[in-house]
């Protein structure tokens, strides 16, 4: 990398400019996510969060293209995030995955590309470790993708303090993570990781910011006090922590409400009351997660899952970027 390109990379980290509120697309069903993205753009959203593993990037791309075509938005106004799935860690797989995502999204570049989880699986498998892959080599290829203009910023998702520090402190890396997307909401604040990420200059984005439900008397009282909804209270709580939120919804009314967070502010009493909600409730129950709410369970569930799925992946390969489309599952000859 030249001095000029190195300087550009440093500027990009400092000027990531990720909008505070975005539309999440995790668990958004096919044939609904397209309409949701269009509704969000019409409501003024400029930030869309997606991932290859969500199985709907091609619909997100259709919605963005339709809105750009009829003048509801422009590419320059949008901030699009995507994520690299767990079995794409070798350099050649990293670039191929990104190019597939760009094709599905109908874009020439994404604004932010994240390593989805801090694991390295063999291509086409789940939970099967790849000893020939590493997060560092994956990151080096992501840096090359930045240099080639395929992505503007790179970051991570679900990285803990030690995993984030390994990238931040590696003097051989030219670009430091711009973002750490993690689970954080009043029912599991994940405070230490939020504060550590921010202390290192890494922007934090909260996925599942509504914790898949906001029914609680404390939230009802605070919402009534400010004349807003409990969901708005929960989202505003993260905004006041300087955390980006990406709530998922397919309802036009809720999409609009989820972005209407700047006409009120939570006071000291509100924030104190909300501390009682922190009960360690996690929505990310994946067996490969090492976060506290599910760590003890996953210590035995992860190796069990690896053992049980190994015979399957001797004969079957899975392409996560084709979920819901031909080619998702294919047979392979183990003797080759």
Structure confidence at residue 29 (pLDDT): 74
Beta bridge partners of 205: 181, 244
Structure confidence at residue 335 (pLDDT): 59
Distance CA 153, CA 178 (A): 7
Distance CA 148, CA 143 (A): 9
Which single residue is written with the structure tokens 């590696």? 170
pTM: 0.93
Selection from 229, 135, 238 nearest residue 182 by Cα: 238
Structure confidence at residue 2 (pLDDT): 36
Active-site residue numbers?
A: 54
Q: Name the DSSP class of 49.
A: E
Which single residue is written with the structure tokens 């392409």? 319
DSSP, residue by residue, 80-108:
EEEEE-TT--SHHHHHHHHHHHHHHHT-S
Residue 327's alpha-carbon distances to 118, 184, 234, in angstroms, are 26, 35, 40
Scanning the chain, the segments in alpha helix (DSSP H) are 3-14, 33-42, 57-69, 91-105, 135-147, 161-168, 191-199, 217-226, 230-239, 252-259, 268-274, 292-309, 312-315
Among positive and negative, which fits the CA dihedral 242, 291, 155, 151?
A: negative
Torsion angle (degrees, nearest 10) of CA 64, 65, 68, 72: -50
Q: What contacts 173, CB < 8 A, 6 or more positions away?
A: 136, 139, 140, 143, 167
Q: What contacts 188, CB < 8 A, 6 or more positions away?
A: 211, 278, 279, 280, 281, 282, 293
According to the 3-state scheme, what is the secondary structure of 134-153? CHHHHHHHHHHHHHCCCEEE
Distance CA 85, CA 103 (A): 16
Among positive and negative, which fits the CA dihedral 285, 286, 290, 291?
A: negative
Written as tens digits, the pLDDT of the chain (336 aa) is 333 333 333 333 446 799 999 999 987 777 799 999 999 999 999 999 999 999 999 999 999 999 999 999 999 999 999 999 999 999 999 999 999 999 999 999 999 999 999 999 999 999 999 999 999 999 999 999 999 999 999 999 999 999 999 999 999 999 999 999 999 999 999 999 999 999 999 999 999 999 877 889 999 999 999 999 999 999 999 999 999 999 999 999 999 999 999 999 999 999 999 999 999 989 888 999 999 999 999 999 999 999 999 999 999 999 999 998 999 999 987 655
User: Where do the domains of the chain lie, and which CATH numbers do they carry?
Assistant: 3-281 (3.20.20.100)
Distance CA 47, CA 187 (A): 25
């Amino acid at each position: 990398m030249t001095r000029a390109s190195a300087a550009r990379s440093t500027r990009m980290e400092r000027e990531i400019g990720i909008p505070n509120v975005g539309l999440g697309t995790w668990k958004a069903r096919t044939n609904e996510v397209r309409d949701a993205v269009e509704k969000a753009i019409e409501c003024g959203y400029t930030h869309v969060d997606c991932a290859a593993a969500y199985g709907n990037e091609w619909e997100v791309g259709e919605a963005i293209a339709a809105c750009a075509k009829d003048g509801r938005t422009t590419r320059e106004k949008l901030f699009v995030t995507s994520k690299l799935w767990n079995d794409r860690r070798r350099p050649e797989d990293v670039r191929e995955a990104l190019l597939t995502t760009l094709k599905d999204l109908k874009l020439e570049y994404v604004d932010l590309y994240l390593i989805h989880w801090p694991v390295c699986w063999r291509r086409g498998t789940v939970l099967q470790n790849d000893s020939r892959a590493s997060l560092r080599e994956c990151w080096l290829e992501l840096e090359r993708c930045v240099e080639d203009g395929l992505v503007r910023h790179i970051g991570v998702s679900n990285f803990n303090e030690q995993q984030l520090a390994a990238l931040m402190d590696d003097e051989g890396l030219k670009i430091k993570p711009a973002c750490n997307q993690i689970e954080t909401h009043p029912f599991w604040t994940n405070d230490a990781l939020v504060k550590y990420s921010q202390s290192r200059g890494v922007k934090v984005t909260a996925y599942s910011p509504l914790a898949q439900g906001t029914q609680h008397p404390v939230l009802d009282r605070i919402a009534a006090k400010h004349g807003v909804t409990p969901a708005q209270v929960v989202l505003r709580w993260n905004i006041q922590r300087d955390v980006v939120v990406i709530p998922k919804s397919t309802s036009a009314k809720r999409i609009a409400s989820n972005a209407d967070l700047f006409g009120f502010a939570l006071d000291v009493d509100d924030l104190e009351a909300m501390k009682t909600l922190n009960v360690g409730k996690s929505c990310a129950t994946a067996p490969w997660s090492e976060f506290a709410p599910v760590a003890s369970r996953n210590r035995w569930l992860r190796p069990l899952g690896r053992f049980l799925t190994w015979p399957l992946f001797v004969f079957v390969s899975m392409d996560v970027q084709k979920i819901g489309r031909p080619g998702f599952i294919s047979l392979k000859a183990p003797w080759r």
